[in-house]
């Protein structure tokens, strides 16, 4: 067996194709990685509850959730970085005044501050994880690791200017992730590496989106999907084929892991 490496995979557009399905070639490639003794991990903007079935199917117990704000290594929570309460309260009030819904996310679920809104339905439906529960005060009694703000890119600027405590990372035409300032998948991966103590040359990452750019920039062996955003491709050391063209298998062969 070669020296053990760890490979972090984004989910949407990377592990899962555009139909939110796991390609057979990807599942087989991950099984082969594990057979070779490597560690397979996830780095995603999703919350743990959104991909529990995928983790179980692939036998993965190390994962970076909410773009680095909630990290688990071998089934143990090792890092939690929630949003600042006072700033989140102000954001909620400002958003309500603009008819921009807010969705609060923790490891167990997602709760919205409005009962129903077309922007929530349009964007969340693409994830195929069900719609959020209506609970407008959920953030008052629970640690929130990521918030979704529903507005257009043009409308988002007012929040960026007003809330320096947060980073805003767009993932959909009508929705943006709201994270603690400086929070990223790259930071979450750093927390994992502090625990596992693997050399940086043994770290790999695959991604496709804007929230993968920092991860692809900082991880030594980074691979962007052929279907990825141009910014992701520019940040990565390698570019593989599309997720629909066995991109994970091709990329793992490209970097010499398979």
The superfamily (CATH) of domain 6-80+183-254 is HAD superfamily/HAD-like (3.40.50.1000)
Question: Tokens in use for 134?
Answer: 């209506």
| 181 closest CA partner among 157, 154, 163, 156 | 163
Q: What is the mean pLDDT of residues 40-61?
A: 97
Helix (H, G, I), strand (E, B) or coil at 212: helix
pTM: predicted TM-score of the whole model, two decimal places: 0.90
Say how far apart CA 130 and CA 231 lie, in whole Å: 30
| 178 closest CA partner among 209, 142, 144, 155 | 144
Question: Tokens in use for 78?
Answer: 């090792």
Q: What is the mean pLDDT of residues 56-61?
A: 98
Provide the pLDDT for residue 1.
38
pLDDT digits (tens, 9 = 90+) for 198-245: 999 999 999 999 999 999 999 999 999 999 999 999 999 999 999 999
Residue indicated by tokens 């940040």: 235
pLDDT digits (tens, 9 = 90+) for 113-169: 999 999 999 999 998 899 999 999 999 999 999 999 999 999 999 999 999 999 998
The residues, ordered by sequence, that sit 6+ positions from 38 with a Cβ below 8 Å of its Cβ are 4, 5, 6, 7, 257
pLDDT band of 183, cuts 50, 70, 90: confident
Q: Which CATH topology does 85-180 take?
A: 3.30.1240
pLDDT band of 96, cuts 50, 70, 90: very high
Residue 2 confidence (pLDDT) above 70: no
Q: What is the mean pLDDT of residues 38-57?
A: 96
| 72 closest CA partner among 234, 164, 188 | 188
pLDDT band of 249, cuts 50, 70, 90: very high
Provide the pLDDT for residue 87.
98
C-beta separation of 224 from 232 below 8 A? yes
**Pure H helices in the chain:** 24-35, 52-58, 85-97, 118-124, 138-141, 153-162, 185-196, 213-218, 230-235, 247-254
Q: What is the mean pLDDT of residues 5-32?
A: 97
**6, 92, 181, 207, 219 from 214: Cα distances, Å:** 18, 27, 13, 10, 8
Residue boundaries of the structural domains of the chain: 6-80+183-254, 85-180
Residue indicated by tokens 């964007």: 123
Query: What share of the chain has pLDDT > 70, as a percent?
Result: 99
Arithmetic mean of pLDDT over the chain = 96
C-beta separation of 135 from 175 below 8 A? no
Angle CA 153–66–137, to nearest 5: 80
For the question of residue 10 being annotated catalytic, the response is yes
Q: What is the mean pLDDT of residues 93-119?
A: 96
The residues, ordered by sequence, that sit 6+ positions from 184 with a Cβ below 8 Å of its Cβ are 67, 68, 167, 211, 214, 215
CA pseudo-torsion sign 185, 190, 191, 193: positive
């Amino acid at each position: 067996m070669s020296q053990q490496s760890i490979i972090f995979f984004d989910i949407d557009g990377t592990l899962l194709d555009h139909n939110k399905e796991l390609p057979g070639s990807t599942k087989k490639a991950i099984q082969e990685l594990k057979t070779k003794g490597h560690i397979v991990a996830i780095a995603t903007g999703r919350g743990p509850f959104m991909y529990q079935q995928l983790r179980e199917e692939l036998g993965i117990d190390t994962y970076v959730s909410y773009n680095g704000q909630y990290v688990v290594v071998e089934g143990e929570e090792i890092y939690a970085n929630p949003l600042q309460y006072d700033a989140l309260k102000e954001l909620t009030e400002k958003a309500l005044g603009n008819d921009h819904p807010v969705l609060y996310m923790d490891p167990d679920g997602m709760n919205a501050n409005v009962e129903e809104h077309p922007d929530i339905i349009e964007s969340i439906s693409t994830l195929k994880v069900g719609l959020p529960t209506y609970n407008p005060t959920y953030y008052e009694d629970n640690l929130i690791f990521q918030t979704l703000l529903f507005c257009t890119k043009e409308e988002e600027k007012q929040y960026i200017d007003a809330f320096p405590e947060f980073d805003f990372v767009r993932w959909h035409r009508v929705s943006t992730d709201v994270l603690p300032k400086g929070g990223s998948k790259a930071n979450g991966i750093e927390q994992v590496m502090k625990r596992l103590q693997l050399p940086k040359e043994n770290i790999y990452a695959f991604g496709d989106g804007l929230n993968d750019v920092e991860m692809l920039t900082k991880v030594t062996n980074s691979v962007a999907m052929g279907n990825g955003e141009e910014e992701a491709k520019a940040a990565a050391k390698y570019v593989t084929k599309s997720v629909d063209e066995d991109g994970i298998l091709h990329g793992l062969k490209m970097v010499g892991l398979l």
